[in-house]
Structure formats: C-alpha cells, structure tokens
Structure 1
Amino acid sequence: HQSIGFPATVLRLPAVYGPYDYQAREWYFIKRFLDGRQQMLLPDFGWGVNQREYAGNVAEQLAFLLTEPASIGQIYNSGHRHFQNFRDLIHLAEELFGRKMSLFGLPKEDILWKVPLAESGLYVLSTGKLEALGYRERYDLRAALQETINYFVANPITEDWVFETRQSKQLFDYRTEDELIERALPLTKYTHKHD
C-alpha cells in the first residue's frame, strides 16, 4: 500500500455461508433434515475440519477494519473463533432441528459424490491478529447456523440450483446413500468440545 500511496487492508476469507449463499454448502445436511431423513452418510467419518465464517461476521469485520487506522497495510484472517469438524457441525444441526439422525461414515473414496466442506484434514486460519486489534465475533457458530437454517427453510433450493452450481444431483440420491450406509461404520456422538 505504501508504494502506491493508497491505504489497503487484506481480509482473507474462508468458506462464507449464511442467507443468500449461492453455493449453499450446508444444504447437504439441511435438506436431509427437511426431507425427514433418519440417517446420513459422512465422508471420512466426519473428521474433516474446514473453517467457515458467517456472512454477518464478515460484514462486521469489514466495518471494523474500515474504522481502524491500525489495520492499514495489514493482512487478517476471517473465520469463526470456534470451529468444528463436520461431524460436530451435524450434531449442532441436530440440536437446532430438535431431532437426532443416525450418522454413518465411509472413506471419501467410497462415496460417489463430493460433500461440500467435508474434506478430511485441518483447514483453519488463526483469527488471533484480528482479535488482538479489538474485533469480537458477533455471531457464534450456533447463532449463525440457526440463521442459515431459517433462511433455507423459508427459501428451499430447487433441483435447477443443483444443476446451475455444478453440484452433483447424487448428493440427494437417498437410495444410493442407503445402499452405501449398509456397509458403512455407524458413528456415535462423542463429547469433545472446542473452547
């Protein structure tokens, strides 16, 4: 920014979700709850940690950085302060929907479709630098996921959307999912919590 004489700040974003999210990556599990499914298949047993950020928090972060002169010339990471693996995210959705679902896991290579943001591995960035500047998360994961669920309940996605976004229609082929579940490992809820 100094070489061009224009103040600049960089905010690196993870996968952003919430109302009006055209990618609707959470639709994989939200639709299953809405369809009354009793079971769900998780790739790589749901252990993948892919940090997300709620759109409302991104707006708050941008407004905060625009009013903070110390941010000029700096790079910050966006993301929920507390993040969860995919299985934890499904358990949170169970709480928000008020019902349990039987979860099953298979290696991702054995599943015929790619589940958005459920890849195995650890994909997170530290938000400590942003917090050290004084930013505080407004929407925690629970509140943000509830807002996202509310939006998609009121605005369900059509089959045309699946085609337009190039996501596989197999994501909602429940007959094939049930066949895969027959050879999958049942997953139980564990009590690990992120601080």
Structure 2
Amino acid sequence: MLGATGQIGRAAVRALVEDGWEVTAASRRGGRDERWPAEVRSVAVDRTEEGALATALGGGTDVLVDVVAFDAAHGRQLTGLAERIGSAVVISSAAVYQDAQGRNFDTQDEPDGFPDYPLPVPETLGTVAPGDSSYSTRKVALERELLAAAGRLPATLLRAAAVHGPYSPGPRELWFVKRALDGRPVRILAEGGRSVFHPVHVDNLAELVRLAAAQPGTRVLNAADPQAPSVAEIGAAIDAAMGVSSETVLFDGAPGKDMVGYTPWTTPRPMVCDMAAAERELGYRPVTGYAESLPGTIEYLAAAVAERDWREAFPGLVKYGVDFFDYAAEDAWLAAR
C-alpha cells in the first residue's frame, strides 16, 4: 500500500489485514500505526525517486492500493509497472464532478459558480476535463490514465467524498469540536444550516478498499457514508457526542465579508453521492454511520489541540484562508443583530 501512514492508509491497512491479506505498508518514512498487528511489514518508499516503487514491488504484488496518487504521472507510473501488479485500488475524489452547466468545485468562488448537482450524484455524471491546473483536473487525468489501461491493469477508482475520522490533516469536525472544548455557547451557521457536503468515514472507505481488493476489475465508484447530514445536523450530533448544549443561530444566504457563519461544509447547494453502484458491484455495506463514528474523531481532535494551536495541529484547515475560531467577529455579529 502506498500512503499507508496517512488518514486513509491507516484504516485500509487494518481492514486488509483483518481480511487475511499480507500487507506491506509503504510511506515516505516507513512509519507504522500503533494499531497495526506485528505482521504488517513497513517500508520507506519515495515514489518520486527513480525506480523506488519498482524496487519496492520486487517480483510483484497481487494488489496495489494507492492512497496518494494525484495526477497523470502517477497513473503512468502504475500502468508502467502493470506486469508486476495484479490489480490496483486507487483513491480518487468526488471533486471531479461537474454539473450540466460545467460548474464544479473549481468554479465555486465565481458568481453563481457552485455546481447544481443531481441528487444523488451517480458515477455517470460528467467530470471536469483532465489537466494539471487543479486538484480536480489532476484527479481526472489520473483516472483517465488508469481506465485507458484496463486491459493491462484492472483498477478500481474510489471517488471519495469528504473524508472524516482520526488522523485527518484538515478535519472539518474541529469547527464544532473546538467550540465545545472552548465552552463557546453559540454556533452561527450561514445558508440556514442546510449545507450538505456528503462525508465518508475512513472505516467506510477502508471497507470499499477491502472489497475492491478481493474483486479485481476496472470501475469507478463513489465512496460515501450511508447518511449525508446537513451542517446543522452535524453540529447537533457533535454536541450530543460531547455532552454539551449550545444555541444554533441560523441565517439564510452566504457568509458576509467577516465570514461569520462559514464552516468547512458551507455550500449553497448540496453535494450527495449515489452509493448504489458500490452496493451492486462490490456488495458494499457501510461499517459505521456518521454519528456512530464521532467518539473516535472527537477523542483524536481533542488530544491534538490540547497543547497546540489549531493551525499548527491541522495545516489542512489553514488552506481555507479563514480564521474558523474568530469569536470576536461572532460576538460583534451577534451584538449587531
């Protein structure tokens, strides 16, 4: 497995071992997760080094799980080693989709640029054009490379929704968890709290990896939880899991210039993935629901910010360019109402 010590990789290794696979966990530093059994072999592999992946593969592998493939070059790297790989399971992203007007996640900051997706989104919906201009276009380019090599390398591409669970570098749940830890009594939500950005827990994603590894084939499948809760529902579930009671203040429309009411889920239109194909083709059944999965996430997040600033602990949240915990701005907004 490539990317074994990341958020998705840690869970996928455990799922594969439990299913009887002999797993070699590859990462740049060759680290381990403390929950892996001793039989998991850890190796250091930097795929950017010439010949490093080929050397690590040795005589070959039945399945290569690639959690950290991001572009066409990575796709060509895998197909170039097809004779040593029985099949592949590769993580893609639900961010590849575009709506009938060509709107997608790359246009979301433009006026009326957020996509109006069908509900739920099937795998047959069109995608952005492949390229190297953005995360979405690079993921499509990766997919195209692997799909074109179907005769040589069977590959399951899992279009992951908003991944959540322990070890995330950019955990959306922190927006609510930190407020509870700080004793913040109010949560202000734009868009009426109705925003929906379909999540997928790492254990559900790992279950899809496990099923795809056991059933080689060339396919593209969505990867999402059984529920697609609104941001207001997420807040209520986290508060309940943490045993706190807070007031939720809702307002319609987008956040203003002060970004009060903005969360990592905030969108003007919902994004919900159709899981029928995974159920039909792999026999997929989720192993956890959103609310049921929260205690482990909350425990991890609380420990991570106990002695560190949230920006240091979770640089993946910094990319939004927003101070998610600007309580002074929230207080000023409330006072002005």
Same fold (TM > 0.5): yes
Separation in 1, partners of 2:322, 2:221: 36
Once the two structures are overlaid, the 10-residue window that deviates more, 21-30 or 107-116, is 107-116
Separation in 1, partners of 2:257, 2:192: 11
Match of 1:192 in 2: none
Give the C-alpha shift of residue 111 in structure 1: 5.6
Paired residues for 1:173-184 under 5 Å: 173-183=326-336
Superimposed CA distance per residue, residues 104-137 of structure 1 (whole angstroms, 9 cap, x where no aligned partner): 1233232623421122311011011112231111
Please report the TM-score for the alignment, with normalisation by the length of structure 1: 0.84
Separation in 2, partners of 1:172, 1:25: 13
Once the two structures are overlaid, the 10-residue window that deviates more, 94-103 or 33-42, is 94-103
Provide the secondary structure at the position in 2 that maps to 1:108: coil
Amino acid at match of 1:39: V
Superimposed CA distance per residue, residues 161-180 of structure 1 (whole angstroms, 9 cap, x where no aligned partner): 38943344532111211221
* Aligned residue among 156, 168, 171 for 2:324: 171
Structure 1 residue 13 corresponds to structure 2 residue 160: yes
Separation in 2, partners of 1:28, 1:124: 21
Give the C-alpha shift of residue 52 in structure 1: 0.6
Identity %: 25
Separation in 1, partners of 2:151, 2:162: 30
Superimposed CA distance per residue, residues 10-44 of structure 1 (whole angstroms, 9 cap, x where no aligned partner): 11011111111001121111100000011111121
Match of 1:188 in 2: none
Gaps of 5+ in 1: 185-195
Checking the alignment, whether the CA contact within 8 Å between 1:49 and 1:84 is kept in structure 2 is yes
Match of 2:240 in 1: 95
Please report the TM-score for the alignment, with normalisation by the length of structure 2: 0.50
Give the C-alpha shift of residue 183 in structure 1: 4.9
Amino acid at match of 2:291: R
Gaps of 5+ in 2: 1-146
Give the C-alpha shift of residue 155 in structure 1: 1.6
Checking the alignment, whether the CA contact within 8 Å between 2:161 and 2:198 is kept in structure 1 is yes
Amino acid at match of 2:169: Y
Separation in 1, partners of 2:172, 2:291: 16
Count of residue pairs the alignment pairs up: 182
Checking the alignment, whether the CA contact within 8 Å between 2:188 and 2:250 is kept in structure 1 is yes
Match of 1:193 in 2: none
1:44–1:162 distance in 2 versus 1, CA, 3 Å: farther
Match of 1:77 in 2: 222
Amino acid at match of 2:243: G
Amino acid at match of 1:161: E
* Aligned residue among 94, 102, 124 for 2:272: 124
If asked which structure has higher relative contact order (CA below 8 Å, sep 6+), I would say 1
- Structure 1's consecutive aligned runs of 4 or more residues displaced over 6 angstroms after TM superposition are none
Once the two structures are overlaid, the 10-residue window that deviates more, 43-52 or 161-170, is 161-170
Structure 1 residue 161 corresponds to structure 2 residue 312: yes
Structure 1 residue 149 corresponds to structure 2 residue 302: no
Provide the secondary structure at the position in 2 that maps to 1:65: helix
* Aligned residue among 39, 44, 47 for 2:191: 44
Separation in 1, partners of 2:322, 2:314: 7
Paired residues for 1:125-140 under 5 Å: 125-132=273-280, 133-140=282-289
Match of 1:187 in 2: none
